[in-house]
């Protein structure tokens, strides 16, 4: 779930950058871009940590 949410948030960031580069119509400000990229990073880290915790739980470690 967190990994999919991270991908969606990153897709929003990528769409904003692509629109800004090719169509000159970005819909987020610089601070908005930073916050969206930060959210994608946090969601990705949470997904990886949960996946690692699940793996450790099944290994019995």
Name the pTM for this structure: 0.84
DSSP 61: -
Side-chain half-sphere exposure of 53, counting CA atoms within 13 A: 6
Q: Is 22 exposed, middle or buried (0-12, 13-18, 19+ CB in 10 A)?
A: exposed
Hey, what are 24's tokens? 């000159």
Name the residue among 13, 15, 6, 53 with its Cα closest to residue 35.
13
In this predicted structure, the answer to whether residue 52 has a pLDDT above a threshold of 80 is yes
Q: Is 25 helix (H, G, I), strand (E, B) or coil?
A: coil
Query: For 17-48, what is each residue's pLDDT tens digit?
Result: 999 999 988 899 999 999 999 999 999 999 99
């Amino acid at each position: 779930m967190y990994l999919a949410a991270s991908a969606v948030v990153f897709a929003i960031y990528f769409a904003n950058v692509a629109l800004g580069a090719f169509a000159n119509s970005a819909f987020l400000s610089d601070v908005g871009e930073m916050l969206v990229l930060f959210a994608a990073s946090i969601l990705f880290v949470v997904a990886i940590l949960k996946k690692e915790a699940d793996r450790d739980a099944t290994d019995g470690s």
